[in-house]
Structure 1
Amino acid sequence: MHRRLFFILLYVIAGTLQALAGPVKGRVADQTSHEPLIGATVVLEEKGLHDISGLDGSFIIKNAPAGTYHLSISLAGYKTLVKEVTISGDAPLNIDIDLEADHDKTLHEVVVAGKTNHATEGTARQIERNAPQVMNVVSGQAIRLSPDLTVANVIQRMSGISIERNSNGDGQYAILRGMDKRYNYTLVNGVKIPSPDDKYRYVPLDIFPSELLDRLEVYKALTPSMEGDAVGGAVNMVMKDAPDHLSVEANIGTGYNELFFDRDFLSFNKGAVNFKSPYELRGNQYNATAADFNNATSDYSTRRPMPNLIGGLSIGNRFLNDRLGVIIAGSYQHTYRGSNSLFFDTDKRDTLSGVVVTSMEKRAYSEEQLRYGLHAKLDYRINSRNSLQLYNAYMRLTNTQVRDAVETELSIGDYDPDKGNATLGYKTRSRITQQQIYNSTLQGDHRLADKLLLQWSAVYSKATQTQPDNTTIPLFGIQENFVQQRTNVGDATRRWEHNSDRDLAGYLNLTWNKPVASLPVEWKIGGLYRDKQRDNFYNNYQFHPQNLQAQYGVDFTDYKDIAWALDNPRGSVGSALNYTAFEKTGAGYLQFKVSASHLEVTGGARAEHTDQGYAMKAPIGEDNPTGHQVYTDVLPSLHFRFMPWDKTNIRASYFRSVNRPGFSELVPGPVVREEYRETGNPDLKHAIADNIDLRYEFFPRATEQFMAGVFYKHIKDPIEFTLQLEPRSNFLYYMPGNFGNANNYGLELDFIKYVKQFGIKANYTYTHSSITTPKTIYVRTAANNGDIFTSSADETRPLYGQAAHTGNLTLLYKSGRYGWDVQLAGNYTGERIVVVSQYLGDDQWQKGFVQMDFSLEKSLGHFGIFAKANNLLNTPMEVYVRKPYTNSKAIPYQSPDGRVLIRRDYYQRTYLLGARYKF
């Protein structure tokens, strides 16, 4: 009995002592910027209790008994702070701590930590908060910890942005606020770069390794000092800058695509490919023979691919008493990707009741990607008033692809799905696509007077793309009793294409701080001149088999053993893709920024003069072998930033912008693609847009935000591609046109919140757009022997590429004590039009999809290990037409849900494991 009372009394005493123990909690921040400091060690010295500050700078030490103690707070790069604290025991002790940066420290990790503040979350939020216009920023810190290896995949995490993917599922082009990729432009360190695309202006963002960036900025509203040809917005990649002291960062990793667990990788002898056609090697009068073409592109082999390999290295330092800063960074990515694709073709002469599906094609893509980027920057401080910067960048992406396809004819009489009989077509395509972007920019900043600043830039940029010996070899085949067999050889094609886009540009900006009516006003005046030269080359050779009766498996077993006869010895250069073009742009602007109490106003106007033209190299009966357009646009803009309370912005802005046609969009003449014909339109006009933004911004802490905004765009003469009857030839072409006016409006929400070790980033965008265009109606009636009648009707639809709903949700976990960073990122893109048809109700829609990605990193001092996994849900990309199929026989993979499946691609999951070093 006494023993039981003793234990009860001991339990009560222990509980009482526990009740007297109170937690010590608070936040650690930078003394100057007030940015939360992550990873600071907080120690209650007398008790040895400690914690590590979390993502929001917060810490908590539990179960501290009542008493007076010394609280020590330390973090590399900051002076250790020791405070005397008293814990009463009956209430938690709340204490916020500001640490002072320690500039006297010489440890390398301290120097690096101090410099990389330019890439932190707090810096990104500060830029968004203080910018004169609406913009969003992804920090270098967030990029490094994300699951993404390229800029194209990083940018999809931002509000209002979706991406267009390439054939292996990676992001390639950005779509801003539902505006197609043509409606935005791309900058590197604030300077516009040309595109390697063979037809358009927009830059493929998958060519840029994300690890070279300090941050990624997206401007959603334009000021007068910015170039005016963006309706959706402008993407600015801010590259790594020279650190204060010696900094070395390196990483290496390897991984695999799950797709090749189940099938082999198909490749060809890419090392022996001829990069120039006989036409280029021997001249336009040379009559080529089959002997001029080697069999490298048909020398196929199958194997399991090697593991993916990535690596990066960055070295930077300052010299000459810190006057000269140097950084050199490189990235290398060698990956094997692919997809399993299902493609259906339909009869374009649709009736109002449905669609006739004519064929089904199963495609297996095997792609080897070699991506590398080199980035070098020097900055030299001549004196306190003058400085120079030289930036050079070289990006290169080589994609070696084999597409192996088997087509089943579904609309002819011998197709019998029950017996497994069908007519087949085999088609194997070998292709190398090599894209390069080079940029060299020399800039100067000169303080002419205390209130007068002169800035200038001289820019040379060049983008190229090469597709040598693009080879397609078709074979006929049959299926009997579900057994498939190749038979005879069809006609083959071999194609050479290359293009270059060269920019010479000069920028000049003068900033003058001159008060007006006792209000501080910053005046800016300046302009640019750009000379752009475009050169495109295209040549196509057609072949037929020498032995038309040659049987696969009897007369040959390897494609490289097929004997060919050449049909067009001088090639086929009479194409709209064979042209030269130019564009000379001159611009000037006047901009002011005035601040008064809680209000900042930025405004002014920009004038841009465009002189644009083309000349076909080999016109064949074209009415417009050359073309020329000259026009001038005045682009006003006005931006308000109202700051009624601390940490709060209310923004309102208006700006006018333009969208110029791409060079190839003006060049007439047929281009025969694999699924359609296309041509340019010399009468195409540039689009003009009026843009309005309203946004509320709240930054509760340096790394947190809540933003809610609406936008509206009215576009005059938007440029859209549709299937149209080309008036000069009366053939049906996929071609650009201007279609009256279009409207686009939407809502954007951004949210970032950190609680101790956990964080959440979320955004959602609703976008609505509408454009009305004429469509063709083909009606087949039972009367009149089933003849087809045509008529026309207007159809209102969203703009090409615009998804009504997009969103991101990212969950983060960071343990400073144990060195873990974990991230789970989900992205949703709603359905959108990906092909605009000439026919009523025949537009092709991409189904909405969710992609889930994961990353983690474990820090081990200077070293760290990381892992990334992409496309965890293996979400397919699906395209459909909103009509039922009307075939008399059942069609594989089609469901009677009122929609016809046009395409379905599976990419599978990709895994990466690597190590990182930082000194």
Structure 2
Amino acid sequence: MKHAGLLCMTLLTVMLAGTIPVSESLAGTITGMVVDDTDGLPLPGANISVKGTPNGSISGQDGRFRIENVQQTSPVIVTSYLGYVTEEFPVAFSGDDTARLTIRLQPGLLVSEEITVVGTMLKGQAKALNQQKNNLNVTNVVAADQIGKFPDANVGDALKRIPGISVFGDQGEARFGHVRGTEPRFNSVTVNGERIPSAEAENRTIQLDLVPADMIQTIEVTKALTPDMDADAIGGSINLVTKVPAEERISLNAGGGYNLIEETGGGRYQVGGTYGNRFSDDRLGVLFSVSYDDNDFGSDDIEAEWDEDDGNILLDEFQERTYDVRRIRRSFSTALDYRFNDNHVLKFTGIYNWRSDYENRFRTKYKDLLDDTFEIVREVKGGTKNDARLEDQKMMSFALGGEHDFGRLDMDWQASYSKASEDRPNERYLALKTEVDASAAAIDISNPSKPFVSLPSGISGGVSDNGLWELDELTEEHQYTEDIDKNFALNFTYDVSDEFTLKFGGKIRDKQKRRDNEFYEIRTC
């Protein structure tokens, strides 16, 4: 048993030069939300400005914005968004010097004197490009409705469509992400900005195929870290943003398919849904999402090793493999927020993912084909009631935070708990071997891309001296890995003057990782 603990604290100080001159007579505050007029979903990255002044803001992931120090003499708000019609909205302040707006934008482009309507197929691309345009660092963004255009079952498959990203696949599904050519362990993966712990036993790599694609609102890939981000990534950071509460939203999706490969083929079934709404005079926002994916499939594979003999390149080892795989993903996420007023809000987000990966591999290996006699080894693996090895991996992340405005001083905080685990119970490998006279085998290397080894009819794998297969190896292993992160972050932003803003904060992280291994082996002498 191995235990590892880590307690760390980081302090952050960032000074930003502002460019918005503000007169002492400006005192009003405008808050609101920017949404799509057709479906009511939030529009992140929208540009909101006060007409005739340099004062403005950018909407966040939930579409909300806040503009302070606005002149109260009939101001007009101008809202622009790529792929949507630019709109102007007059503002009327209430008695407490505040104004609240719900800005609804219509898809479309102004071409000469006409408005060209942009179809729903381009909305996702517009959202992504708007966020990329308004980010301070080098970022690539993919929105949920853009992901939905492709048959991407998990986050890894969606990620591979971003420039500068390559993925390492397993059985046809993307598993690990490489950012700018940097291997996965040198990149970070976060959910809503909080680091995901790794269930991998020997490194901190995150398996991206653990998270279904339909559970994510936005995928952000940051290729240049800023000082207010965790400094634990060389290549970049992948941030998975979960769905946020907005107007009433109900969505259901279902799909299916079938794998036609003989013996290992099977069906695939997917179903998911989302419900969200706001209650209590828009103060309380609620959203729930669920997803289930059952994929029964397989693959056939040949592998070869070559060697040189008297100047000729000949086949030295040949393997035939058949994989029988079943992967079941279950996921649940929720998001809640409560707005006491325009200055104070509490937020809670949570996501739970559970993947059961059953796999059996039937392998026949022909070894030392260049010798007078060569060895045949047949191997199978199992350990569960499904006659397969099981990787049972789970990941959960929960965060409670708040945003508070005290005039010149803004404060935000977040406490989070994340856990990842992998259980591989009773993983067994059984291998039998025998020897065959080389003259009894037919080796075909006429097509080097598809070499083939066969034995005469009646010799099913060859015979040993006593005519029986011999035990080569029998192993059984039980592995359990658990990684837990506990974090608390507190940040402050203070407007020192009209042209100077000070941002500072700190973060405490408590990390515990545990790994248990039991290994048994039976081998012939």
TM over 0.5: yes
Aligned twin of 2:404: 446
Retained in 2: the 8 A contact 1:414–1:423?
no
Whichever residue aligns with residue 128 of structure 1, its letter is Q
Distance 1:34 1:463 in 2: 38
Distance 1:202 1:526 in 2: 28
Tell me, yes or no, if structure 1 residue 373 matches structure 2 residue 331: yes
Aligned with 2:428 (options 455, 468, 471): 471
Whichever residue aligns with residue 515 of structure 2, its letter is N
Instruction: Tell me the SS of whatever aligns to 2:127.
Output: helix
- Could you state the TM-score of these two structures normalised by the residue count of structure 2? 0.70
Retained in 2: the 8 A contact 1:311–1:333?
yes
Aligned with 2:113 (options 83, 86, 95): 95
Distance 2:474 2:370 in 1: 24
Distance 1:124 1:80 in 2: 15
* Residues 330-339 or 485-494, more deviating: 485-494
Distance 2:494 2:358 in 1: 52
Distance 2:355 2:107 in 1: 47
Aligned twin of 2:263: 264
Tell me, yes or no, if structure 1 residue 526 matches structure 2 residue 505: yes
Aligned twin of 1:485: 460
Distance 1:496 1:195 in 2: 18
Instruction: Tell me the SS of whatever aligns to 2:204.
Output: coil
Aligned twin of 1:495: 477
Task: Decide whether aligned partners of structure 1 residues 181 and 126 sit closer, same or farther in structure 2, where only a CA change above 3 A counts.
Answer: same
Task: Decide whether aligned partners of structure 1 residues 136 and 322 sit closer, same or farther in structure 2, where only a CA change above 3 A counts.
Answer: same
Task: Decide whether aligned partners of structure 1 residues 95 and 146 sit closer, same or farther in structure 2, where only a CA change above 3 A counts.
Answer: same
Distance 1:169 1:180 in 2: 19
- The one-character-per-residue Cα deviations of 1:251-306 (angstroms, maximum 9, x if unpaired) are 11110224x2xx202xxxxxxxxxxxxxxxxxxxxxxxxxxxxxxxxxxxxxx53x
Q: State how 1:832-851 maps to structure 2 within 5 Å.
A: none
The offset of 1:453, in angstroms, is: 0.9
Retained in 2: the 8 A contact 1:311–1:332?
yes
Aligned twin of 2:342: 384
Tell me, yes or no, if structure 1 residue 513 matches structure 2 residue 495: yes
Distance 2:487 2:363 in 1: 45
Whichever residue aligns with residue 333 of structure 1, its letter is D
Instruction: Tell me the SS of whatever aligns to 2:275.
Output: strand
- The one-character-per-residue Cα deviations of 1:11-70 (angstroms, maximum 9, x if unpaired) are xxxxxxxxxxxxxxxxxxx983243259xxxxxxxxxxxxxxxxxxxxxxxxxxxxxxxx
- The one-character-per-residue Cα deviations of 1:89-146 (angstroms, maximum 9, x if unpaired) are xxxx9523399xxxxxxxxxxxxx9xx99x7322221211111111110111211112
The offset of 1:336, in angstroms, is: 1.8
User: Any gaps of 5 or more consecutive residues in structure 2?
Assistant: 1-45, 47-77, 86-103, 383-388, 442-454, 462-467
Q: State how 1:883-894 maps to structure 2 within 5 Å.
A: none
Cα RMSD (Å) of the superposition?
A: 2.9
Aligned twin of 1:211: 214
Task: Decide whether aligned partners of structure 1 residues 489 and 316 sit closer, same or farther in structure 2, where only a CA change above 3 A counts.
Answer: farther
Instruction: Tell me the SS of whatever aligns to 1:198.
Output: coil
The offset of 1:346, in angstroms, is: 7.0
Q: Whose RCO is larger (CA < 8 A, sep 6+)?
A: 2
Tell me, yes or no, if structure 1 residue 403 matches structure 2 residue 406: no
Task: Decide whether aligned partners of structure 1 residues 147 and 468 sit closer, same or farther in structure 2, where only a CA change above 3 A counts.
Answer: same
Task: Decide whether aligned partners of structure 1 residues 531 and 355 sit closer, same or farther in structure 2, where only a CA change above 3 A counts.
Answer: farther
- The one-character-per-residue Cα deviations of 1:623-677 (angstroms, maximum 9, x if unpaired) are xxxxxxxxxxxxxxxxxxxxxxxxxxxxxxxxxxxxxxxxxxxxxxxxxxxxxxx
Distance 1:188 1:533 in 2: 19
Aligned twin of 2:182: 179
Whichever residue aligns with residue 175 of structure 1, its letter is H
Retained in 2: the 8 A contact 1:477–1:485?
no
Distance 1:326 1:342 in 2: 51
- Could you state the TM-score of these two structures normalised by the residue count of structure 1? 0.41
Aligned with 2:381 (options 412, 429, 433): 429
Whichever residue aligns with residue 469 of structure 2, its letter is N
The offset of 1:427, in angstroms, is: 0.7
Retained in 1: the 8 A contact 2:82–2:130?
no
Distance 1:176 1:80 in 2: 33
User: Any gaps of 5 or more consecutive residues in structure 1?
Assistant: 1-29, 39-76, 82-92, 100-112, 266-303, 416-421, 549-919
- The one-character-per-residue Cα deviations of 1:671-718 (angstroms, maximum 9, x if unpaired) are xxxxxxxxxxxxxxxxxxxxxxxxxxxxxxxxxxxxxxxxxxxxxxxx
Instruction: Tell me the SS of whatever aligns to 2:244.
Output: coil
- The one-character-per-residue Cα deviations of 1:492-546 (angstroms, maximum 9, x if unpaired) are 111110110011111111111223xx6x23321012111111110111112369x
Whichever residue aligns with residue 254 of structure 1, its letter is G
Tell me, yes or no, if structure 1 residue 165 matches structure 2 residue 166: no
Aligned twin of 1:691: none
Aligned twin of 2:271: 311
Task: Decide whether aligned partners of structure 1 residues 522 and 120 sit closer, same or farther in structure 2, where only a CA change above 3 A counts.
Answer: farther
Whichever residue aligns with residue 130 of structure 2, its letter is Q
Distance 1:321 1:137 in 2: 32
The offset of 1:147, in angstroms, is: 2.5
Whichever residue aligns with residue 212 of structure 1, its letter is M
Task: Decide whether aligned partners of structure 1 residues 163 and 413 sit closer, same or farther in structure 2, where only a CA change above 3 A counts.
Answer: same
Distance 1:79 1:316 in 2: 21
Distance 2:428 2:323 in 1: 15
The offset of 1:185, in angstroms, is: 0.3
Tell me, yes or no, if structure 1 residue 120 matches structure 2 residue 120: no
